[in-house]
Amino acid sequence: MKKIAKNKKQTKKILEYTAVFEREKDGRYSVSFPSLPGCVTFGNDLDHAQKMAQEVLELWLETLADLGKPIPVEKKPANIYVNRMRVSLANSSK
């Protein structure tokens, strides 16, 4: 009798993490995840940095799972707010 393999449905959990992109002096972007200390990467430009961030995040979480370590869940976005501020200064002779 031939055994028929049954497909097991794998459920996937969707997790979201805050990523911080910083432009470096050399024009590249560094990326860090406040909820995952040590999980960092960089890219040559913003698009590349976003792709690298996705990749390192997936690898980081897969590695934690493979090691049997708990996967941190970011319950709310990190307390980070970035905004560019513009001011007007009077000309100064100093």
pTM value is 0.71
State the chain's maximal CA–CA distance in angstroms: 95
Bridging pattern class, strands 40-43 and 20-23: unpaired
Structure confidence at residue 41 as a pLDDT band (50, 70, 90): very high
What is residue 14's predicted lDDT score, i.e. its pLDDT?
84
**Domain spans of the chain, in order of start:** 20-66
User: What are the CA-CA distances from residue 32 to residues 21, 54, 92 (Å)?
Assistant: 7, 11, 39
Q: Please, which pLDDT band fits residue 6 given cuts at 50, 70 and 90?
A: low
Name residue 53's amino acid.
A
Structure confidence by residue, pLDDT tens digits, 57-88: 999 999 999 999 999 988 776 677 767 777 87
Contact 52, 30 (CB under 8 A): no
Mean predicted lDDT score pLDDT of the chain: 85
